[in-house]
Amino acid sequence: MNETQKDILKYWYAWIYEQDEDETLMAQYLLDQLGPKPLRILEAACGGGKLCLPLAKAGHQITGIDQDKYMLDHLHRKAAEHSNIQAIQMDMLSRPWGSGYDAVILGANLMVNIVTERDSKCAQKNLLERAYDALKTGGRLFIDYDCPLEVSKWHPAINEWVCFEGTDDHGTHGRYVVIPGAASDRTRVISGSRRWEIIPLEGEPFTYTEKRHQYFPALEQTCAWLYRIGFTVESIGGGYQGEPFDNQHRRAVIWARKTIL
Ligand SMILES: C[S@@+](CC[C@H](N)C(=O)[O-])C[C@H]1O[C@@H](n2cnc3c(N)ncnc32)[C@H](O)[C@@H]1O
C-alpha cells in the first residue's frame, strides 16, 4: 500500500467507524458512574471521542490520547466548542500520559485492540502500569473488554464477515472484512486477519490485509496485574446495565482504585 492509498484507507475507516459504531450505552454508563462533580479524566485511545465527548459536555476536564490522526480529526471537529477537552496524537505505549488524573478510561474494548509491534500481553500490562502512573492516589481506573470463557466459542464464525461497509464523504467505497483464524483456549489467543477492500472515487481499487493476534486476558489475569501494580479492584460487572459477570455476560466491566503510592 502506497502513502496515497494509506491516506484514503485510513480516512475511510475513521469515517465509517464514526458513522457505524455506537458507544452511547457505555458513555451513559460512564456518566452515571463518574457522577456530576467535575473531574480530570484521561481517555487512552479516545478515537473520535464517542466516550470522552459526552464526559466533556457534562463538565469534566478531558485529555484524550490516540495515535490515529484521522480518528482525532472527528474529535476535533465535534469538540470545537468545548475548551475543556484536549486531544493529543501519540502512541500511548511510547510517551508519558501526564499525572494527577482523577480517572483513567480504557474503554471500548481497548485491552484487546491495542495497535503495537509488542507482544500483546506486555502491551496490556504496560497499559495498566501507565494508567497507574497517570492517576492520583485514590483515582479510579475503568476497563472494559470482551472476556470470553473459551475464546474458541467466542467467534464461532467459520467464514469471513463484513464488519463495516459504506461510502465516505470523499466518495470512497469500502468494506472492512474480518477473516477468522485459529482460536486457542489454552493460550487465549485468537489469530486471524482483517481485509480492507477500497474503491476510491478516482484511481484503482485496492485491498490491504493485516494479520492479527489478539490475546484475551482472563479476568483473573487482569485482576492479578492490577493488584501487582498497586490497584484495588472495587467492582466487576458483566455489562453496562448492572449485569453480573457470569457465563452469559462476558463484557468485563472493571473499576479499580489506585491505592498504593
Ligand atoms: C475502538 S477505536 C476508538 C473508539 C473511540 N471510543 C471512538 O469514539 O472512536 C480504538 C482506538 O484505539 C487507538 N489505538 C490503538 N492502539 C493505540 C496505540 N498504541 N496508541 C494510541 N492509540 C491507539 C486507535 O487509533 C483507535 O482510534
Please check the confidence at residue 29 and state whether its pLDDT lies above 70.
yes
Whether residues 82 and 132 fall in one domain:
yes
Do the Cβ atoms of 239 and 249 come closer than 8 Å?
A: yes
| 116 in contact with ligand 1, CB cutoff 6 A | yes
Q: Ligand 1: does its nearest atom lie under 6 Å from the Cβ of 68? A: yes
Are 120 and 234 found together in one domain? yes
Res. 245: pLDDT tops 90 = yes
Write the residue with the smallest CA distance to atom 22 of ligand 1: 66
- pLDDT at residue 128 in the model: 98
Please report the pLDDT score of residue 156 as a whole number.
58
For the cut 70, the answer to whether the pLDDT of residue 155 exceeds it is no
Of the candidates 130, 116, 126, 115, the residue with the CA atom closest to the CA atom of residue 43: 130
CA of 68 to the centre of ligand 1 (A): 7
The pick from 9, 55, 68 for probing ligand 1's pocket by mutation, whose C-beta has the most ligand atoms within 8 angstroms, reads 68
Where does a domain end: 199, 214, 229?
214
Please indicate, yes or no, whether residues 160 and 86 belong to a single structural domain of this protein. no
Q: Is the pLDDT of residue 261 over 80?
A: no
Give residue 181's pLDDT band: very low, low, confident or very high (50, 70, 90): confident
Statement to judge: residues 225 and 210 lie in one domain: no
- 158: three-class secondary structure by DSSP: coil
Which of 217, 238, 230, 222 has the alpha carbon at shortest distance from 259?
Answer: 230
Ligand 1 pocket check for 92: Cβ under 6 Å: yes
Cα–Cα separations (whole angstroms), residue 187 to 115, 150, 215, 217, 259: 19, 10, 8, 9, 31
Q: What is the pTM of this model?
A: 0.95
In this model, does residue 96 exceed pLDDT 90? yes
Query: What is the reported pLDDT for 139?
Result: 98
Residue owning the nearest CA to atom 27 of ligand 1: 47
Rounded to whole angstroms, the Cα distance separating 172 from 224 reads: 45
CATH code for the domain of 227: 3.40.50.150
pLDDT of amino acid 157: 63
Q: Which of 66, 94, 145 to mutate to test the pocket of ligand 1 (most atoms within 8 A of CB)?
A: 66
Q: Which of ligand 1's atoms lies nearest the C-alpha of 109?
A: 1
Q: For ligand 1, atom 12, which residue shows the shortest CA distance?
A: 45
Residue 39 pLDDT exceeds 90: yes
**Ligand 1 closest atom vs CA 72:** 27
Cell 477468522 locates to 180
pLDDT tens digits, residue range 141-151?
A: 999 999 999 98
- Which residue in the block uniquely carries the three cell numbers 482525532? 72
192 lines ligand 1 (CB under 6 A): no
Pairing mode of beta strands 251-258, 135-146: antiparallel
Residue 207's domain is classified under what CATH number?
2.20.25
Question: Across residues 193-208, what is the average pLDDT?
Answer: 96
**Residue 227 sits in which domain range?**
3-149+217-258
43 lines ligand 1 (CB under 6 A): no
pLDDT digits (tens, 9 = 90+) for 44-83: 999 999 999 999 999 999 999 999 999 999 999 999 899 9
161 and 144 belong to one structural domain: no
Same domain? For 119 and 196 the reply is: no
126 lines ligand 1 (CB under 6 A): no
| C-alpha cell recorded at residue 188 | 487465549
Mark whether 80 and 201 lie in a shared domain.
no
Mean pLDDT, rounded, for 80-92? 95
| Nine cell digits for residue 221 | 489475569
Q: Do 195 and 106 lie in a common domain?
A: no
pLDDT of 152 > 90? The answer is no
Give the number of the atom of ligand 1 that is nearest the alpha carbon of residue 123: 19
**pLDDT value at 187 more than 70:** yes
Of all residues in the chain, the percent with pLDDT exceeding 70 is 98
Judge if 123 and 234 occupy the same domain: yes
Distance in Å, CA 202 to ligand 1 centroid = 29
Q: How far apart are the first and last CA of the chain?
A: 47
| Each residue's pLDDT tens digit, 201-211 | 998 999 999 99
141 and 158 housed in the same domain: no
Number of structural domains in the chain: 2
Residues 254 and 179 in one domain: no
On whether both 61 and 136 belong to a single domain, the answer is yes
Share of the chain above pLDDT 90, in %: 85
